[in-house]
């Protein structure tokens, strides 16, 4: 495991205030970490010169007493988040040379508080995947074991935090893309409530699911990032004006926790993950929390429902990349039809094509009722049943993923259905629009294991407090 030089922004800011370090020195450190770890392929681009000049500028602001709340924070962003004047490719060939013309609202808010963006992170193409192997720019290695995947789709973001290439990173989560890689890399990954953070400037995959969120090493940093990114944005009609209360840390607070019976009995659950799950349940009980087994009988329906809904939305969202207005135009384009056909055939990878075709199929007139409409009804049911559990409990607990990080280019990578099942525990919160967090609780044969907590709508603070309590347990 890589030990991080700095545990949190609070620690960095303390050192800065004691003049034991400066933003310029931190910039040198993180840039050298990036150079040393290039082979992990976590970053598609590092903004070297810019990072140095911004650090110098923020050092001046600190001296003048005008620095923002995030002065000293070095942030990496997933390559599907727009940053004006910088490239954003969603790890796809079709957008390889595309530059953002504006900055995502969430990122803009962080920049206004003086966060520094160190670079953009590799990910699965258009955020579709669970292993980061679908990137057009090569796979990412897990720093805990370089023969293993880092998870996906925010695999680069997770490894950037894991390998200390930055302090914190932004990912996006549609069905688990922040939480699953967090679990595989021993980091903390938070998917906020749907609507909590503006999606303006996030390249869309499935708009009724997508959320930007933080990947961090400390609960405090996750809370801080959430607080600053959250809130109403007139550029995203689904963003909520619900206020985020500042993080409260109360280690003595006792919670009511339901843990998933089906997860425990699930055939695909690896033994090491099962042991970590049981261990956490025991620790929570010993700590005085009210822990109860709870059945949620839709485990088998969730992955199919998720894939029908998200591929449908993706087929519509990705239609803009045609070589006309957006997307690299094929050199073989001669007329409108060949522009569309050639540009899309050459520009998209295999998995993205599979999903566009699946999505087009489930939305087609003959099959709309059988698939899309039905999936919508199942989604409603999952939402209702999830909320029902959370009327009686503060959290719903299960493992984040059924296994630890798997082999790069291994069995799973050859079978899309197997890969889709990596999302079995994370898609519930996505379908229901609820907040959820992955917390590292154990390590098995050098590989991290994360546990997953889902909470009530807009109650991320309790999730973060619970995560903080869990991190105090011995593993």
Least CB distance to ligand GLN at residue 447 (A): 19
By CB under 6 A, name the binding residues for ligand GLN: 127-130, 153, 173-177, 205, 310, 423
Least CB distance to ligand GLN at residue 358 (A): 11
Least CB distance to ligand GLN at residue 33 (A): 26
**From edge to edge, which strands make up the β-sheet containing 447-455?**
43-46, 116-121, 74-78, 168-173, 211-216, 188-191, 436-444, 447-455, 395-399, 256-260, 290-294
- Measured over the CA atoms of residue 102, residue 157, residue 424 and residue 354, the dihedral's sign is positive
CB nearer ligand GLN, residue 72 or residue 399: 399
Whether the CB-CB separation of 86 and 120 falls below 8 Å is answered with: yes
Count, residues in the chain: 475
Least CB distance to ligand GLN at residue 117 (A): 21
Least CB distance to ligand GLN at residue 229 (A): 17
User: Active-site residues: which are they?
Assistant: 78, 153, 177
The half-sphere exposure of 367 on its side-chain side, counting CA atoms within 13 A, is: 11
Measured from each CB, the residue nearest to ligand GLN is: 177
Least CB distance to ligand GLN at residue 180 (A): 7
Contacts of 409 (CB under 8 A, 6+ apart): 133, 139
Contacts of 95 (CB under 8 A, 6+ apart): 88, 89, 203, 321, 326, 327, 328, 347
The half-sphere exposure of 359 on its side-chain side, counting CA atoms within 13 A, is: 21
Give CA separation, 300 vs 76, 251, 336, 374, in Å. Answer: 35, 35, 43, 15
CB nearer ligand GLN, residue 160 or residue 284: 160
Rounded CA-CA distance 299/448 in Å is 24
CB nearer ligand GLN, residue 176 or residue 231: 176
Give CA separation, 356 vs 87, 329, 344, 348, 434, in Å. Answer: 24, 19, 11, 10, 26
To the nearest 10°, report the CA torsion of 403, 404, 406, 411: -20
């Amino acid at each position: 495991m890589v030990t991080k030089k700095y545990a949190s922004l609070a620690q960095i800011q303390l050192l800065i205030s004691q003049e034991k370090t400066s933003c310029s020195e931190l910039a040198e450190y993180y840039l050298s970490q990036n150079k040393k770890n290039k082979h992990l392929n976590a970053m598609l681009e590092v903004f070297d010169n810019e990072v140095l000049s911004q650090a110098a500028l923020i050092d001046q602001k600190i001296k003048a007493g005008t620095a923002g709340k995030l002065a000293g924070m070095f942030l990496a962003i997933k390559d599907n988040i727009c940053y004006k004047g910088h490239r954003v490719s969603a790890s796809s060939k079709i957008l390889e040379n595309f530059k953002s013309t504006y900055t995502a609202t969430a990122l803009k808010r962080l920049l206004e508080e003086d966060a520094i963006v160190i670079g953009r992170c590799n990910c699965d193409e258009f955020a579709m995947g669970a292993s980061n192997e679908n990137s057009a720019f090569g796979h990412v290695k897990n720093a805990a074991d370089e023969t293993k995947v880092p998870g996906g789709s925010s695999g680069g973001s997770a490894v950037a935090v894991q390998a200390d290439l930055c302090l914190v990173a932004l990912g996006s989560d549609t069905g688990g893309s922040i939480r699953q890689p967090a679990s595989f890399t021993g980091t903390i990954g938070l998917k906020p409530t749907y609507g909590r953070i503006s999606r303006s400037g996030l390249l869309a995959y499935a708009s009724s699911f997508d959320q930007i969120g933080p990947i961090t090493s400390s609960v405090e940093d996750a809370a801080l990032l959430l607080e600053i990114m959250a809130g109403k944005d007139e550029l995203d009609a689904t963003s909520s004006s619900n206020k985020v209360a500042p993080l409260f840390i109360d280690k003595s607070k006792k919670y009511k926790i339901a843990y998933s019976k089906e997860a425990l009995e699930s055939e695909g659950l690896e033994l090491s993950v099962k042991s970590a799950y049981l261990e956490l349940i025991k620790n929570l009980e010993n700590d005085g929390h009210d822990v109860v087994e709870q059945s949620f009988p839709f485990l088998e329906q969730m992955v199919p429902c998720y894939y029908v809904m998200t591929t449908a939305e993706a087929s519509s969202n990705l239609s803009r990349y045609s070589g006309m207005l957006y997307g690299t135009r094929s050199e073989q384009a001669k007329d409108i039809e060949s522009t569309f056909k050639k540009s899309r055939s050459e520009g998209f990878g295999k998995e993205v094509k599979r999903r566009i075709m699946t999505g087009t199929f489930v939305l087609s007139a003959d099959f709309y009722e059988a698939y899309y409409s039905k999936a919508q009804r199942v989604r409603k049911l999952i939402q209702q049943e999830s909320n029902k559990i959370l009327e009686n409990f503060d959290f719903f607990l299960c493992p984040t993923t059924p296994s630890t990080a798997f082999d790069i280019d291994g069995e799973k990578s050859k079978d899309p259905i197997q890969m889709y099942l990596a999302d079995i525990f994370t898609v519930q919160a996505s379908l229901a629009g609820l907040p959820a967090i992955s917390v590292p609780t154990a390590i098995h044969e050098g590989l991290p294991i994360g546990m997953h907590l889902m909470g009530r709508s807009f109650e991320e603070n309790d999730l973060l407090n619970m995560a903080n309590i869990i991190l105090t347990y011995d593993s």
